[in-house]
Amino acid sequence: MAESQAPSPAETVAAGPVRPGPPPKPLGNQGNEFKTGDHVVYPTHGVGQVQGIESMAVAGAELKVIIVTFEENRMTLRVPLNKAASSGLRKLANRDMMGEALETLKGRARIKRTMWSRRAQEYEQKINSGDPVQIAEVVRDLHRNAGQPDQSFSERQIYELAMDRLAAEVAAIDGSDKNAAMNKLLEHLKG
């Protein structure tokens, strides 16, 4: 008599209805080939530049890492090559994606009536997503024109961080400086 075996976890998952989520939205010139000198975006740090790829010995194993420097923060980051995509490291957004982000700035601000701490958390998640469209939403929602009420200190900090991240990527894409990129963003905000 043959014993029936319980299905393995992999079989159990495969047997159930598979509802794949939407595919991740491509943010730009995707591809795992990072070259020295490329400008890249790391979600929590913004725009950096690839200095090279090198091998390191970690726990007795050989590990290839991408070396990224962030001039503004005077910081160097080493991202394992095999974890680059899952860490969120990506090339700069393409012009279409940045165009979508700039159009987002022209939209009407969405003002939520939830507690500030909750909104602040949502804004920071959007900024740290690395997605230029989500960062543009934060800039749009927190931007204040003349004649509007002043921002709190924490609102201003989040706004400036989002504006800085977006301007850095616009500057890298356009080959301009950050001040020119800031002016471009402000023009779109006036919409």
Residue where the block lists tokens 């958390």: 121
pLDDT at 131 over 90: yes
Q: Contact, 185 vs 178, CB < 8 A?
A: no
DSSP secondary structure, the chain, as one string: -PPPPPPPHHHHHHHSPP---PPPPP-SS--S---TT-EEEETTTEEEEEEEEEEEEETTEEEEEEEEEETTTTEEEEEEGGGHHHHT-EEPPPHHHHHHHHHHHHS------S-HHHHHHHHHHHHHH--HHHHHHHHHHH---TTSPPPPHHHHHHHHHHHHHHHHHHHHHHT--HHHHHHHHHHHHH-
The predicted-structure confidence for 63-84, as pLDDT tens digits, reads as follows 999 999 998 889 999 999 999 9
**What residues does each domain of the chain span?**
39-91, 95-190
Number of Cβ atoms within 10 Å of the Cβ of 20: 5
Mean pLDDT of the chain: 83
CATH class of the region 95-190: mainly alpha
| pLDDT(9) > 60 | no
Architecture in CATH for domain 39-91: Beta Barrel (2.40)
- 33 band by pLDDT with thresholds 50, 70 and 90: confident
Distances 186 to 123, 136, 175, 191 between C-alpha atoms, Å: 19, 11, 18, 9
Each residue of 150-180: pLDDT tens digit?
788 999 999 999 999 999 999 999 999 999 9
pLDDT confidence bin for 22, thresholds 50/70/90: very low
Model-wide pTM > 0.75: yes
